[in-house]
């Protein structure tokens, strides 16, 4: 069930993106896209909750959750860049960071470690895997994506103010993305030292 939710939310996001891309400036389509975007991110929390409640936690589930996060997050960054709403640097940074950290985490899986269980240093562990940091990063992304879409709804009041807040939330989210990836890169050396042993 948890894995189904992880996959389902990707399709929810794709439909939201379809509405934005093919119905540019259409108020009802953008309102639906906004609602579906909120649902897609809400389901990200639901899949983990269901996994814990139904005792479906697994390494595969953790990877599926990360994969879903990457697809959803990167698709929105790419969409916003294609629409001309943000700089191409946003998706380039997010995608590059994802490739680097996911490659390192694949090596960690070979050692039997979970994606967040590979961290050794307590500070690195807190930055990448703590509930506080994971939720804070999720909130930053959701706030950025939701506000950017909201600001593009033609009938939205105070669009300029909402856009400005959404844009700076996006800047914060992309910085947060890099900061949370750095500990994975820094501690990658421990994986290769273990492999050498």
Helix axes 89-110, 188-196, angle to 10 degrees: 30
Per residue in 86-112, pLDDT (tens digit) is: 999 999 999 999 999 888 877 777 766
- Nearby residues of 191 by Cβ (< 8 Å), 6 or more positions away: 104, 107, 108, 111, 118
The DSSP-derived string for 25-69 is T-HHHHHHHHHHHHHHHHHHHHHHHHHHHTT---HHHHHHHHHHH
Contact 72, 145 (CB under 8 A): no
Q: Identify which has the larger pLDDT, 47 or 142.
A: 142
Q: Identify which has the larger pLDDT, 114 or 90.
A: 90
User: Which tokens in the block code for residue 39?
Assistant: 């649902």
pTM value is 0.85
Distance CA 104, CA 99 (A): 9
Distance CA 52, CA 67 (A): 19
């Amino acid at each position: 069930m948890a894995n189904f939710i992880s996959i389902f939310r990707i399709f929810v996001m794709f439909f939201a993106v379809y509405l934005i891309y093919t119905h540019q400036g259409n108020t009802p389509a953008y309102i639906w896209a906004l609602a579906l975007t909120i649902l897609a991110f809400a389901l990200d929390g639901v899949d983990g909750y269901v996994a814990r409640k139904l005792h479906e936690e697994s390494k595969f589930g953790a990877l599926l959750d990360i994969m879903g996060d990457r697809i959803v997050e990167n698709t929105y960054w790419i969409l916003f860049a294609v629409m001309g709403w943000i700089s191409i640097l946003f998706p380039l940074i997010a995608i590059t960071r994802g490739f680097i950290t996911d490659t390192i985490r694949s090596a960690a899986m070979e050692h039997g470690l979970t994606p967040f269980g590979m961290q050794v240093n307590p500070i690195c562990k807190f930055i990448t895997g703590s509930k506080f940091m994971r939720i804070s990063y999720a909130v930053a992304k959701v706030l950025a994506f939701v506000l950017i879409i909201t600001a593009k709804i033609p009938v939205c009041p105070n669009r300029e103010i909402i856009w400005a807040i959404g844009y700076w939330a996006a800047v914060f989210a992309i910085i947060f993305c890099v900061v949370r990836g750095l500990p994975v890169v820094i501690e990658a050396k421990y994986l290769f030292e273990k492999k050498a042993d």
